[in-house]
Amino acid sequence: MSLPNLDMNALRTLLATQQLGSLQRAAERVGRSQSAVSQQMRKLEEQLGQPLFRRRGRGLVTTEYGDLILSYAKRILDLNDEAVHAVRGVSVEGRVRFGLPGDFAETWLPAALGQFKNTRPSVHVEVTVERNGMLLERLDKGELDLVLVMGNEHREDAEHLATLPMTWIGPTRSNISLRPGLALDLALYNSPCMFRRAGIEALDQANISWRVAYTTASLQSLWAGVAAGLGITLRTVAGIPPSLKRLGESDGLPPLPSVALCLHAGDRTMSPALAQLRQVIVENVIDHFDAETIVVR
């Protein structure tokens, strides 16, 4: 008996449905109508001979069969995309200079950059890790070709990928204690810093007294200071070390705003190599942050 060839587009839709939590949002992601997405899922169920979803309240959750095919779908699609990139990448040449903030430099994004480099051996990739403002300065000076930056969404060249919630962050093994008349110790970046400004404004509006107990120009130094109990800080949900934890209103802290995550390329025309790098960054950002952020693409 011959086995069916699973539809790659249907597998992508299945993965999007699992990531986004609904067929409607998955339909928006893949650019199809909700009825077309439902039809794709029914076809998959017919090919596999098992139900992939079941109702829970007003939503859908995957069955044990759905969970099983999801694990294979991710591997199938990754291998497919790697093969396509490898073949296309052989003919692409040039140099790309990409900048990103430290929040993403030690987590998932370097792996994506490494895969890009491995599948495009004729492209010379230069990666720079810097603070957001410095990345934009270097882009405008022509020292970088593409930067991933938090904030600055009002620039004309901003390509808005996602909206990341800011969060208070403290040591995993200790609790903060807000007491009247006792200032809250903060660990912050040196000025200027949008996170520093947002945190201080939120505390002032909540009438919570504070003092800057630790300042640094390095993200790793900031994490170390918070882990040591020198003060709490605030960043986004991206790249929080396991030694630290998110804090919030249950800890007596005020709510914080969100920050836009954008790609910037200035006014330059993208080379084929840079255009492909941009696509890899966009895909990885959206896939990584769907569970915890508001994705606007």
Residue spans per domain, the chain: 8-88, 92-161+260-295, 164-259
The predicted pLDDT at position 117 comes to: 80
The predicted pLDDT at position 202 comes to: 96
Task: Determine which of 109-113, 124-128, 287-291, 293-297 has the lowest per-residue pLDDT on average.
Answer: 293-297
Query: What percent of the chain is modeled with pLDDT above 70?
Result: 93
Q: Kindly give, in sequence order, each residue whose CB lies less than 8 Å from that of residue 220, ignoring residues fewer than 6 positions away.
A: 102
pLDDT over threshold 70, residue 88:
no
> Could you tell me the pLDDT band of residue 86, with boundaries at 50, 70 and 90?
low
Long-range contacts of 249-255 (CB under 8 A, 24+ apart): 251/168, 251/170, 251/175, 251/176, 251/178, 252/176, 252/178, 252/208, 253/168, 253/176, 253/178, 253/206, 253/208, 254/202, 254/203, 254/205, 254/206, 254/208, 255/202
Token pair of 17 as six digits? 């449905």
CATH architecture of 8-88: Orthogonal Bundle (1.10)
The predicted pLDDT at position 169 comes to: 96
pLDDT over threshold 80, residue 181:
no
The predicted pLDDT at position 233 comes to: 96
The predicted pLDDT at position 150 comes to: 93
The predicted pLDDT at position 253 comes to: 94
Q: How far apart are CA 83 and CA 235, in angstroms?
A: 36
* Average pLDDT of the residues in 220-242: 92
Q: How far apart are CA 137 and CA 134, in angstroms?
A: 5
Relative to beta strand 94-100, strand 123-129 is parallel
> Could you tell me the pLDDT band of residue 199, with boundaries at 50, 70 and 90?
very high
pLDDT over threshold 80, residue 40:
yes
Token pair of 42 as six digits? 């029914």
pTM to 2 decimal places: 0.68
Q: How far apart are CA 44 and CA 124, in angstroms?
A: 41
Task: Determine which of 79-83, 201-205, 232-236 has the lowest per-residue pLDDT on average.
Answer: 79-83
pLDDT over threshold 60, residue 20:
yes
> Could you tell me the pLDDT band of residue 294, with boundaries at 50, 70 and 90?
low
CATH architecture of 92-161+260-295: 3-Layer(aba) Sandwich (3.40)
The predicted pLDDT at position 108 comes to: 75
Token pair of 272 as six digits? 């084929």
Q: Quick one: fold of 164-259?
A: D-Maltodextrin-Binding Protein; domain 2 (3.40.190)
Do the two domains 8-88 and 164-259 of this chain adopt the same fold?
no
> Could you tell me the pLDDT band of residue 293, with boundaries at 50, 70 and 90?
low
Task: Determine which of 4-13, 145-154, 199-208, 246-255 has the lowest per-residue pLDDT on average.
Answer: 4-13
Report the mean per-residue pLDDT for the chain: 85
Task: Name the residue among 35, 36, 37 with its Cα closest to residue 26.
Answer: 37
Pair 7, 43: CB distance under 8 Å:
yes
Q: Which residue has the higher pLDDT, 234 or 292?
A: 234
pLDDT, tens digit (0-9, with 9 covering 90-100), for 45-72: 888 888 888 877 777 778 888 889 888 8
pLDDT over threshold 90, residue 197:
yes
